[in-house]
A and B are shown apart, each in its own frame.
Chain A
């Protein structure tokens, strides 16, 4: 197997759901590549398809179309049985620390379950030892080993979720809003932990969030999604230094800044609501809310074009804003 640079390559990933109201375009033609040991942040608001993208990559949801190449293997059409072998290579950390843990299992059972399922460790003593090690790695005090989720707070529960994901030694970890449900000070602890684990152990992350400040802090590259499509993709610094797509700019402008005293530029707020992702016509999906809409924007869905080195934008007027 060629040990190529990219751990994950996704081409034209698409997921549609059939609903009574029509065809729901959850994810529509998403493409990206992630290098080993790097972090791709996927950012967007509700309904943009970021969570669905994450789950589809892990094949927890079957894709409607497109290609997923993981570690050199085309896993797009892998059966559940074939995927089971890969489960030790790809893991997920969930958003809600309350519902992502089975309330009837103790910390020990929760963390050791993947070890037992994949027969990675045998024997009660060895399992307990490995569990304690994992708890130490994630900063969970060992005295909690027999505790139950309902006895612990959100931050600790999330650490259990992380330990559980780490147990199988994965290559790729999809983090679906892992800190959104946590308090600010706990968020910082968990983010630091995730960053440190990546430094020490070389994980590749997909970091899904709606929080722009967090994604900037955490990612090497960032993809902005809107209504199932990627509208802009760039290295983190470039995206924030020079956001090009009107949606990205509006998103950045909308984040309330914890700064007092500086004269704030008049924020250009985006108008309107996020439209329904059902039965979308073939035009730029942002055109109804865009301040720069033109005739071109109604004639088909713009695709991602590379306008700067490594900086992709899906907008017909992108070149107008390049300085």
Chain B
């Protein structure tokens, strides 16, 4: 049996609205091995959150419609499952944590009750046992268990996010989907939460799909990376592949756009233009109009992911020429 916990094949998700069809995800392919952490990197509108919601079939319908594709989760196609089967999976085999810790918790339930809720839903235990487990989870995320009786408003943002993590991990899921889990947190708190997540991922031996736009976070936490643009994966590989042997022009553009602490004050090189309107995607490569390396053919044909090494794939026509190299490697 494969080592894959998650295998997304040719996923197509549209939002069918009165004003037109939003092509959120357009033939996405993604694989995640067990116990590995994959960073899904992209900007707003690239389709990351829609992809994440699709895994649990949580895309709001209407207007969201999954038009095509298979999502194989631990050997079984999620899209073929009944709502009841999905409900058993959610929170249990697959857990999800969202970006905003302020609204992710129910303000009228104590923190302990909310963690226990997840346990009670999926396991055959008494309320008292569930609450004890909840307290244990709080300890795991670094919160004294006496606080199980407190309400969300009594916690700061960073601590609330820890509670959210505790809820997610309560049933020991095989796959954790984290959608921008630290974006809303202060830098020093973010660092704490990331360390905590790394520790727990190791401890619980989970596979993690980490969605983020922050390449720094990806470098900290992820083994593998997939870069998503206009609803498709344009490059994927190990962290080393993506950071040190970048292939796709968009990925290069992202690195060039970021001021990082190592660079001096020369002007940044932003990617010109903007992501295309998902209601009106161009015929060929979605990145072509912004790409400094684009040719005419790029405007006509949408490239598929092709293998460059055992771990590294890229969707770019430029690599049909074997000698092609991105500018950042050209002066080598």
Contacts and interface: CB of A to CB of B under 8 A. Distances in A.
Secondary structure at the A interface, as helix, strand, loop or mixed, is helix
B215 interface: yes
Contact of A261 (B213, B240, B261, B263): B240
Contacts of B268: 188, 191-192, 217
B326 interface: no
A254 B217 CA distance: 11
A269 B259 contact: no
Interface string B250-269: 00011111111111010111
A154 B213 CA distance: 16
Given A210-B187, A261-B243, A256 B270 contact: no
A34 to B, nearest CB: 18
Contacts of A210: 186-187
Nearest to A191: B268
A184 B261 contact: no
B154 interface: no
Contacts of A240: 261
A259 B43 contact: no
A216 B195 CA distance: 25
A255 to B, nearest CB: 6
A258 B216 contact: yes
A244 B176 CA distance: 39
Contacts of B260: 213, 257-258
Contacts of A46: 157, 186
Nearest to A259: B219
A240 B243 CA distance: 23
A260 B258 contact: no
Nearest to A187: B257
A255 B187 contact: yes
Contact of A195 (B158, B219, B267): B267
- Which 9 A-B residue pairings sit nearest by Cβ, starting from the closest? A256-B216, A188-B270, A217-B259, A254-B191, A188-B257, A45-B186, A258-B215, A260-B243, A183-B43
Interface of B: 43-44, 156-159, 186-192, 194-195, 213-220, 239-240, 242-244, 253-263, 265, 267-272, 274
6 contacts: A185-B254, A187-B257, A189-B272, A192-B270, A258-B258, A270-B191
